[in-house]
C-alpha cells in the first residue's frame, strides 16, 4: 500500500526524525493518497442504499446510483466513490439476518477487515442483529457510527400521538443511546437522518462531516503506522548490526591494562551507540524542532539514558577484581561481563529509540498542518 514509503527507511536511517520530516515534506500528499473504505451495514430495509445515494446527491433512477427497492436488492458488497473524496469508497453491504444472508454466515460473507470505518443503520427500533453487529465490529477495533434512518416517519408518528411534545428528536436520540448502553456497548455516536430530505434535520450534515473527519484520522493512522513500522525496522536492523561489533569491543577492552582507559573506551562506545540511534543530545535537540516533543519529554529521555543497567555491577567487579591480572581467566571474566553489559545497553537503547521515535513521528508538525 505504501510502496514509496519504503524510501523513508534511507532517510530515517541516515538522519533520524529529521530525515523523515524531509521525506514527508516531499511525499506527504502521495503517501496520503490511499483508499479509505467506509462500509454501510445494518438490517435489510433500513435505507443503506438510499443513504449512499443521498451522500452522492443522486436519486435511485440516476445513472450510477445504488440500487434500491422495497425488496432486498443488495446481495454483494458494492463500491461507490464519494463525490468530493475520490479515494473514499462507500460500500453498500447486504443486510444482516435475512433468509439469503443469515447472521451466522454474515461475517464469513463480508470481510470487515478490509473496511476502515463502518456505519450501522437502523430503522424505528434497534434490533438484536444491529446490537450484535455493533458488538462484533467493536471487538474488531473498527471505527463505528450508529445511524437511525426514516426519522421523518418517527417524528410524524410521535407528534400524532403526543402533539404537545416539542422534544421528539432529543427523546429519540436519547432512547438510541440508552439502548446501546443497555447492550453494554462503548460510546458510539448516534445520528438521526432522513435520506430524502437531507436538510430537514441537522444530523445528515453532521454525519457527513464526521465521516470525513474519521476517514482523515484513519488515513493519518495508516500513514503513521506505516512510518512507525518502517522506523522500527530500521532500529532493529541497526541493533543487529551493532551487536556484531560487541565481541571486538570486548576483546579490545580485555586487552587494555588500565581501568581508566577501559572505562573511557566503554563510555566512548556507549556514546557511539546513542549517536547511532539518534539519542545523543544534539540529535534530540534537532528532532524536537520538527515535532511536538517537548523539552521536558527530551529531558525524561536523557534521564532514562543516564540510568545504569544492573549489569554495570558485574562489569565493574570484573574490571577491578584481583583476578583481572590472571592471563586467561581474568580476560575471560572481563569479556563476559563486558558482553553482558553492552548487549543489555544496546537492547535498552533500541527500546528507547523505538518508543521515542514513535512518539516523535506521531507528533510531527507536518502531519498536523
Share of the chain above pLDDT 70, in %: 82
Residue 57 lies in a domain: yes
Task: Say if 6 falls within a structural domain.
Answer: no
How many CA atoms, within 13 angstroms, populate the side-chain half-sphere of residue 271? 8
Asked whether residue 145 is assigned to any structural domain, the reply reads yes
Domain with 332 in it: 230-368
Domain CATH number, residue 68? 3.40.50.300
Q: How many CA atoms lie within 13 A of 192 on its CB side?
A: 21
**Is the pLDDT reported for residue 148 higher than 60?**
yes
Number of independent structural domains in the chain: 2
- Residue 27: pLDDT band with limits 50, 70, 90: low
Candidates 171, 179, 49; CA nearest to 125 is 179
- In a domain, residue 312? The reply is yes
Is 2 part of any domain?
A: no
CA distances from 225 to 25, 107, 234 (A): 17, 26, 14
Answer yes or no: do 197 and 63 share one domain.
yes
- Would the pLDDT of 100 be above 80? no
Q: Are residues 174 and 305 in the same domain?
A: no
- Of 10, 34, 39, the closest CA to residue 22 belongs to 10
Residues 116 and 187 in one domain: yes
Mean pLDDT computed over 228-236: 77
pLDDT tens, 309-328? 787 877 787 778 766 667 77
d(CA 289, CA 363): 11
Pair 192, 289 in one domain: no
Tell me: do 55 and 143 sit in the same domain.
yes
Find the range with the poorest average confidence among 104-118, 213-227, 290-304, 313-327. Answer: 213-227
- What is the pLDDT averaged over residues 18-37? 67
Residues 189 and 234 in one domain: no
Look up residue 115 and give its DSSP letter. -
Q: What is the DSSP string of 12-78?
A: HHHHTHHHHHHHHHHHHHHHH---EEEEEEEBTTSSHHHHHHHHTT--TTSTTPPP--SS----S-E
Distance from C-alpha of 190 to C-alpha of 192, rounded to nearest angstrom: 7
Domain-embedded: residue 159 = yes
H-type alpha helices, the chain: 8-15, 17-32, 48-55, 103-109, 128-139, 151-161, 168-182, 203-243, 246-254, 259-276, 281-289, 295-306, 311-320, 327-362
Query: Is residue 130 domain-shared with residue 75, that is, in the same domain?
Result: yes
Cell readout for 58 is: 443522486
pLDDT at 3: 47
Please tell me the distance from the alpha carbon of residue 154 to that of residue 65, in angstroms, as a whole number: 26
151, 273: one domain: no
Residue 219 belongs to some domain of the structure:
no
| Per-residue pLDDT at 287 | 76
Same domain, residue pair 153 and 262: no
Residues 298 and 339 reside in one and the same domain: yes
Residue 286 lies in a domain: yes
Q: Residue 181 has what pLDDT?
A: 86
Model-level pTM greater than 0.85? no
Q: Let me know whether 342 and 236 are in one domain.
A: yes
Q: Is the pLDDT reported for residue 230 higher than 80? A: no
More confident residue, 27 or 338: 338
Based on the fold, state whether residues 173 and 269 are members of the same structural domain: no
Amino acid at each position: 500500500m505504501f510502496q514509496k514509503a519504503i524510501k523513508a527507511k534511507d532517510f530515517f536511517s541516515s538522519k533520524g526524525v529529521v530525515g523523515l520530516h524531509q521525506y514527508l515534506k516531499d511525499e506527504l500528499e502521495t503517501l496520503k493518497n490511499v483508499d479509505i473504505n467506509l462500509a454501510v451495514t445494518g438490517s435489510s430495509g433500513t435505507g443503506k442504499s438510499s443513504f449512499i445515494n443521498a451522500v452522492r446527491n443522486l436519486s435511485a433512477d440516476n445513472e450510477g446510483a445504488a440500487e434500491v427497492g422495497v425488496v432486498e436488492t443488495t446481495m454483494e458488497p458494492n463500491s461507490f466513490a464519494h463525490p468530493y473524496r475520490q479515494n473514499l469508497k462507500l460500500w453498500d453491504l447486504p443486510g444482516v439476518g435475512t433468509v439469503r444472508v443469515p447472521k451466522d454466515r454474515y461475517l464469513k460473507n463480508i470481510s470487515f477487515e478490509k473496511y476502515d470505518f463502518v456505519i450501522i443503520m437502523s430503522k424505528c427500533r434497534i434490533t438484536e442483529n444491529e446490537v450484535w453487529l455493533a458488538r462484533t465490529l467493536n471487538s474488531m477495533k473498527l471505527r463505528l457510527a450508529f445511524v437511525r434512518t426514516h426519522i421523518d416517519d418517527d417524528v410524524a408518528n410521535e407528534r400524532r400521538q403526543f402533539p404537545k411534545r416539542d422534544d421528539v428528536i432529543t427523546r429519540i436520540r436519547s432512547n438510541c443511546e440508552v439502548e446501546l448502553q443497555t447492550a453494554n456497548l462503548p460510546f458510539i455516536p448516534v445520528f438521526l437522518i432522513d435520506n430524502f430530505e437531507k436538510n430537514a434535520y441537522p444530523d445528515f450534515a453532521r454525519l457527513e462531516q464526521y465521516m470525513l473527519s474519521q476517514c482523515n484520522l484513519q488515513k493519518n493512522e495508516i500513514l503513521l503506522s506505516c512510518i512507525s513500522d518502517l522506523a522500527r525496522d530500521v532500529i532493529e536492523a541497526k541493533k543487529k548490526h551493532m551487536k556484531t561489533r560487541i565481541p571486538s569491543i570486548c576483546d579490545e577492552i580485555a586487552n587494555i591494562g588500565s581501568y581508566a582507559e577501559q572505562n573511557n573506551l566503554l563510555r566512548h562506545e556507549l556514546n557511539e551507540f546513542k549517536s547511532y540511534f539518534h539519542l545523543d543530545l544534539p540529535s534530540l535537540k534537532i528532532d524536537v524542532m520538527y515535532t511536538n516533543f517537548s523539552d521536558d519529554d527530551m529531558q525524561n529521555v536523557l534521564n532514562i539514558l543516564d540510568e545504569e543497567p544492573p549489569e554495570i555491577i558485574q562489569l565493574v567487579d570484573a574490571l577491578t577484581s584481583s583476578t583481572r591480572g590472571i592471563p586467561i581467566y581474568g580476560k575471560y571474566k572481563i569479556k563476559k561481563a563486558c558482553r553482558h553489559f553492552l548487549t543489555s545497553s544496546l537492547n535498552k537503547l533500541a527500546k528507547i529509540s523505538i518508543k521515542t521515535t514513535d512518539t516523535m513521528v506521531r507528533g510531527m508538525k507536518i502531519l498536523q498542518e
